[in-house]
Each structure stands twice: as structure tokens, then as C-alpha cells.
């Protein structure tokens, strides 16, 4: 990947300003509220998973960030400005909202050449991005013959033409085979390593869980969760189901160790943010007998469904 000379956006304290900010962002279509009072910020050098069920308002939010739709109220800012006011926006911001945004009769290479000419980039850049997305061998073929995965790569190549600081992708893994998903994951990590920012929209949490640093989960246009992936993973994998004939003594021992517990419906306790090994050691030290000790095996997808269903209830 070619090196990008980022313009300094550091504040007086030396910290980089957020690449993306939404402030009470709202979009209504008649009586339908597609995006409802949405506020978040994305720091440089991060990969954020923008998650939610189909129809949650993700694409509408991305369209407002890219100046393709006007907010009903609130603001969507990129590099501190509405998209229309960002200098060299076509070079600094790369986006893929549709994997079919090309003329089917043109070859992949000609499609990229047309785009590069429109922003006065050298033709050599087309060959660079084709290599980056591993599409060189198919670049001379008409795009209408491309598979969905190849069209995704072509869209990504177009987004990368300007060597952007910000990459916005809507369902980029759609149509990719497992090898392609792994390639995309590695590519995005390398991209973000140079203080660039990535926003990846998806309706499948497990699909992006191995790629992102943080997650934004929305449902019915409203923010449900804004969390680092580490915090969300702790919520998922850090629960232990316990049964003891001395529950009060066990709860007290766990509380002293800073571990919260909640009762379950089957007369067991759930200890949160810990492991079965740690709970076993604490119970042994407190001389509390255990009749059951099982790590809770809920998945990231379970948590995603739980969080979105909680908002609907």
C-alpha cells in the first residue's frame, strides 16, 4: 500500500481530531424515523463495526455522512465539516455503498480509469489499486461478468483510488468466499495501521468481530451500544453458571473479589466478567462446595440479538 501524507488535524493537546462525528443526527421520511438522535465519534487509526438488523438505519446514516442525503436535524461531520465542505473529499474519503455502481459493459480497468480521470489521478494509480485488491488478472474483463465477490473488490479499488484517510464500506464482505473475507480483514487492518479510519457497516456481528476495534450497534435508528470490541467480548465470554448448596456464602466470596452475580431461572447463579477457573479458586479458598460450574457459551451473535431485541421490547 502506498504511503499517505496525512494532513495534521491535531488539536492544541496534540491529539488527532475525530475523523467522523455525528451530533443528534436524525432523518425522517414522512412518519418514518429512519435515524433517531444518533451521536458518535470515530478516532483516527480505528476500525469500527457499524451494526444493526436490516432496516436499522445504517445505510441512511452512511448516506448522510457522504452528503447523499440531508439530515432532518442534527449534523454529520467528516474531518470537522459536512461532506460538501471537505476539501479534496473525493481523494480523502473512499466509500462503497453499492457493489453494482459501474457500467456493466466496461472492463474493471476502464471503470477505474474513468474515475481516476475525473479526479485527475495518474493512470498508474489504477494499476496500483488493482494489485491491492488482487483483481489485476480480471481487470480486462467486462464487469457484468464479475461475481459478487469480484464486484466488491472492484468497488473497494474505486474507493482506494485517492489513497483516502477515511474508508466507509457498506456490507463489504457480502459475496466474498472465506478466503476473500480473510483477505478483507487483513487489508482493513493494514489500512487502519497508518492512522486511517474505517467504518464498516454490517448486519452480522460475527462477520466483523475478528476485524474491528469497536462497535456501534443501532436498531430502529437509535444507538443501542457504543463499545470497544474487548468490552463486548468480555460481556459475552465472561459469564460462569454456578450451583452451590451455600449460595449466600458464595455470593459474598465473589463480591469480595469484585465479581457481580445474578440469579438464573434454574436456581443457579451467573457470575459475570470472570472464568470458571477463577470462580473455582475463590470457592475453594472460601470453603464453599460447588455442585455445578460451567462456562456460559453465549456467542457474540447471541449478544447482538439480545441487545437489539431488548430495544424492541
- The topology under which CATH files domain 20-229 is Rossmann fold (3.40.50)
pLDDT, tens only, 246-294: 999 999 999 999 988 888 766 788 888 777 888 999 999 999 999 998 8
Order the strands of the 269-272 sheet from edge to edge.
261-263, 269-272, 239-243, 292-295
**CA 208/CA 263 separation, integer angstroms:** 32
Return the domain boundaries, the chain.
20-229, 239-295
pTM: 0.76
pLDDT, tens only, 96-110: 997 677 888 999 999
- The topology under which CATH files domain 239-295 is Alpha-Beta Plaits (3.30.70)
Q: Which is more confidently placed, 298 or 26?
A: 26
**CA 64/CA 29 separation, integer angstroms:** 13
The pLDDT value recorded for residue 266 is 64
Whose grid coordinates read 442525503? 69
Amino acid at each position: 500500500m502506498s504511503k499517505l501524507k496525512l494532513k495534521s488535524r491535531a488539536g492544541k493537546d496534540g491529539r488527532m481530531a475525530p475523523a467522523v462525528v455525528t451530533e443528534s443526527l436524525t432523518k425522517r421520511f414522512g412518519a418514518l424515523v429512519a435515524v433517531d438522535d444518533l451521536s458518535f465519534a470515530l478516532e483516527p487509526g480505528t476500525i469500527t463495526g457499524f451494526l444493526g438488523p436490516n432496516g436499522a438505519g445504517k445505510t441512511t446514516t452512511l448516506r448522510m455522512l457522504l452528503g447523499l442525503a440531508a439530515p432532518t436535524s442534527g449534523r454529520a461531520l467528516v474531518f470537522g465539516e459536512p461532506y460538501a465542505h471537505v476539501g479534496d473529499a473525493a481523494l480523502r474519503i473512499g466509500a462503497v455503498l453499492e457493489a453494482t455502481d459501474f457500467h456493466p459493459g466496461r472492463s474493471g480497468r476502464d471503470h477505474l480509469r474513468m474515475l481516476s480521470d475525473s479526479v485527475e489521478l495518474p493512470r498508474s494509480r489504477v494499476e496500483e489499486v488493482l494489485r491491492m485488491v488482487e483483481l489485476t488478472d480480471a481487470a480486462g474483463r467486462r464487469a457484468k461478468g464479475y461475481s459478487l465477490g469480484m464486484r466488491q473488490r472492484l468497488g473497494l479499488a474505486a474507493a482506494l483510488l485517492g489513497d483516502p484517510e477515511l474508508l466507509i464500506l457498506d456490507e463489504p464482505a457480502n459475496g466474498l468466499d472465506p478466503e476473500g473475507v480473510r483477505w478483507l480483514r487483513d487489508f482493513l487492518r493494514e489500512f487502519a495501521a497508518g492512522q486511517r479510519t474505517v467504518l464498516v457497516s454490517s448486519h452480522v456481528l460475527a462477520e466483523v468481530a475478528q476485524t474491528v476495534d469497536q462497535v456501534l450497534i443501532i436498531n430502529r435508528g437509535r444507538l443501542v451500544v457504543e463499545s470497544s470490541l474487548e468490552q463486548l467480548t468480555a460481556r459475552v465470554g465472561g459469564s460462569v453458571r454456578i450451583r452451590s448448596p451455600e449460595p449466600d456464602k458464595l455470593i459474598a466470596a465473589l463480591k469480595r473479589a469484585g465479581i457481580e452475580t445474578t440469579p438464573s431461572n434454574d436456581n443457579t447463579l451467573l457470575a459475570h466478567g470472570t472464568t470458571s477457573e477463577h470462580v473455582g479458586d475463590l470457592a475453594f479458598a472460601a470453603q464453599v462446595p460447588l455442585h455445578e460450574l460451567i462456562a456460559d457459551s453465549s456467542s457474540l451473535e447471541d449478544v447482538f440479538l439480545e441487545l437489539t431485541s431488548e430495544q424492541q421490547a
